Chain A
Amino acid sequence: MSDAAREFEQELRVESPAREAWRMFISNNSAIVGLAIFTLIILTTFVGPLVYTVDPFELVWAPLTPPGEEGWLLGTDYLGRDLVAGLLIGGQSTLAVGAAAAVITITIGITVGALAGYYRGWVDEALMRVTEFFQVLPPLLLAMVLVMLFEPSLTTIAFAIGIVSWTSAARLTRAEFMRIRELEYVKAARSISASNARIIWRVILPNAAPPLIVSAALSVGTAILFEAGLSFLGLSDANVMSWGKLIGDNRPAILAAWWPVTFPGVAIFLTVLAVSLIGDGLNDALNPKLRRR
C-alpha cells in the first residue's frame, strides 16, 4: 500500500469524533447511571465470590428460609442453597453467556452484512436468502431445537442464541456498507487500488461502527433475556448456576416463596436496564445527527 493511501486512512481516523462522542456520553445522565449500575454488577459478580465464599450448590440451611432470617441475607432456595452465593456465581455465567452470545451475534452479523453490502450482486442475493431464512423462523423455537440437540450447557446456549439472533445486525451492517461504499473516500481508496479486504475492514467498517456498537451493546441485554427464557423452559445447564436457572428452578415454589424468583429477576432486570441505558447513551453520542443539535 502506498504512503499516500496510508496517509489518507490516517486522515479518516481523526481523534476528535471519538473524544467528542465520549464527552457526549458522559454528559448524558441516564447513560452514566447505566454505566454505574453495570460496573457495580460486574464488580459484585466477579469480585464478590472472592470475598463471599459460600458454595452456591451447598445445602446450607432449611429450604426456603426467608431473606434475613438465620443470617441468610437473601434467604435460601427450594433445596436450601444460599441465594447470595447463587446470585453472585450465577451472575458470572449469565453475563458470560450474554457477552459470548453478543460476540457471536455481532461477528456473524457483521461478516454476513459486510460481504453482502460490499460485494452486492449474487453474493448479496445468496446471503440475504440465508438471512431471510433465519428471520422467518421463530428464534426461540430454533434455539430450543439447537440446545436440545447438543445438550444444554453454557456453550451450546450461547451458540444457539448467537445463531438465531444475528439477522438484524447483518441487515444493519449491510445497509451501512451499501451507503458508505458509494461515498467519495471509499471511491478514492478504490482508485488507489486498495484490496477489497482492506477496504472492508479498514475503510468502511470503522465508519460503519457507531450503529454496530450500539447494536452490540443492546444484544448483550437481549441475550441475557434469551438465556432466562430458555432456562424458564427447562433448558439450562444443571451444573452451572445462572440467573435464568434460578428463576426457572424456583418457579414451582413461587406461591410459597417469592424471594428465590424475585431476586434473580431483579438482577436480570437491572443488568438489561443498565445495558440498554448504555446503549441509548452510545446511540446519542455516536449519532452525528443528534450531535449537531
Chain B
Amino acid sequence: MHIASVLIRRILNAAGLLAAVLILCFTLIHLAPGDPAEVIAGEMGGATEEMMAEIRALYGLDRPFHVQLLSYLGNVAQGDLGYSFYFNQPVTDLIVERLGATLLLVISALLLAIFLGTFLGVVAARNPNGLISHFVTVLALFGYAAPVFWTAIILLILFASVIPIFPASGGMYDITGPDDPISRALDIAHHMVLPVITLSTIYLAFYSRLARASMLDVLGSDYIRTARAKGLAEVVVVYKHALRNAVLPVVTFAGLQFAQLMSGAVLVEAVYSWPGLGTLAFESLLRRDTPTLLGILFFSSMVVIIANLLTDIAYRLIDPRIRSGAR
C-alpha cells in the first residue's frame, strides 16, 4: 500500500476514534454525581439557589443532555474545545501550556528508558551469565514490582530532604530564581531529574528485558553467524547488524505504551507537583470541569495516535523488509 493512502486511512480512523472518545467520556462525566455549579458553590463557602441556577445558566448546564453534547461536538468540529468552567479560560490555552510539560517529562523518561534499557539489555545479552546480566534482571524486577508513586515518594524524601540535592517544592522551575533562558533551562533540568528517573524506572526495566531477549534471539540467528564468519569486528556485528534488529520490538512497544506512560505521569506528576496534563486532568475530574477534562483526553488521545503513527514510520525506517501496509 502506498504511504499516502495509509496516512489518509489513518487520519480518518483517528478522527472517528477521537469522536468516540469525546462522546463516551462526555456521557460518563455527565453521569458522575455532582456538577461544576456545586464545586464553585463549595469553593465559595456556599451559595444560594439563585446563584447555583445562575452558574448553571452561565455555562449552559441547564440545557438537556443531548443539546449540551451536540453543541460541544459542534464546537470541537470547528476547532473550539470550549471554556473551562473552573478556570474561566479557554481550554486550549490551559492545555497547550501543560502539554509541553507532560511531553517533556514523558519523552525524556521514554528516551532514557529506551537508550539505557537497550544498552543494558545488549550488554547483558553479550554475556548472559555475567554481573550486568544479573543486574538487569534485578533492576527489571524491581522497576516492575514497585508502585511508581511509592518510588516517587521515597526518592523525593531521600533526595530532597535526607540528602537535599534536588528541589523539595517540585514543579518545573523556581519562579523566584533568575529568569534568563540559560539559568531557566538549567533550573528545569534540575527539577526534571527525579520525576524523569521515577517515571523511567518502570520502562527501563521493561526495555532492558525486551532488548536482552531480542538481542539473544538475534545473536543466535544465521545472518549474524554469517557476519561473524566474514570476519567483521565483533563491535560492528553487535552494534550495527544485531542491534538494528533487536531494537524493533522496543520501538513497537514504545509506541503502544505511550498511553500507559501518560497514566504513570498522572501519579508521578501528583507526587512531584509537576505542572503537566496529569495534574490538570486529576483536578478537572475532581471539579467536574468537563470541557477541560475532555480537552485533555482529546489531546492525549491525539498524542497516542501520533505516537503510534511515528512508531509505524520508525519501524519502516529501521526494518526495510516491511514496505507494505501489512501489520
Contact = CB atoms under 8 A, between A and B. Distances in A.
* Contact flag (A, B; Cβ within 8 A): yes
A132 B157 CA distance: 39
B146 interface: yes
B17 interface: yes
Give the dominant DSSP class at B's interface. helix
Nearest to A228: B147
- Lowest 3 A-B CB distances belong to which pairs? A140-B263, A272-B145, A273-B145
Contacts of A247: 147, 150
B256 A276 contact: no
A137 B301 contact: yes
Contacts of B31: 149
Given A136-B21, A139-B260, A229 B267 contact: yes
B281 interface: yes
A229 B202 CA distance: 14
B20 interface: yes
Interface of B: 13, 16-17, 20-21, 24-25, 28-29, 31-32, 137, 141-142, 144-150, 153, 157, 256, 259-260, 262-264, 266-267, 270, 281-282, 285, 296-297, 300-301, 304-305
A146 B153 CA distance: 26
A261 B153 contact: yes
Contact of A149 (B28, B153, B264, B305): B28
Contacts of A225: 147-148
A145 B32 contact: yes
A254 B267 contact: no
A276 B141 contact: yes
Contacts, number: 113
17 contacts: A129-B13, A132-B17, A133-B20, A136-B21, A136-B304, A138-B260, A141-B263, A141-B266, A144-B282, A144-B285, A148-B285, A229-B267, A232-B149, A232-B267, A233-B270, A265-B147, A272-B146
Give the dominant DSSP class at A's interface. helix
A255 B162 CA distance: 11
Interface in A115-171: 129, 132-133, 135-142, 144-146, 148-149, 168
Contacts of B270: 232-233
A251 interface: yes
A138 B262 contact: yes
B259 A136 contact: yes
A277 interface: yes
B25 A145 contact: yes
Given A133-B24, A269-B147, A272-B145, 5 more contacts: A137-B301, A149-B28, A228-B150, A229-B147, A232-B149
Contacts of A141: 262-263, 266, 281, 285, 296-297, 300
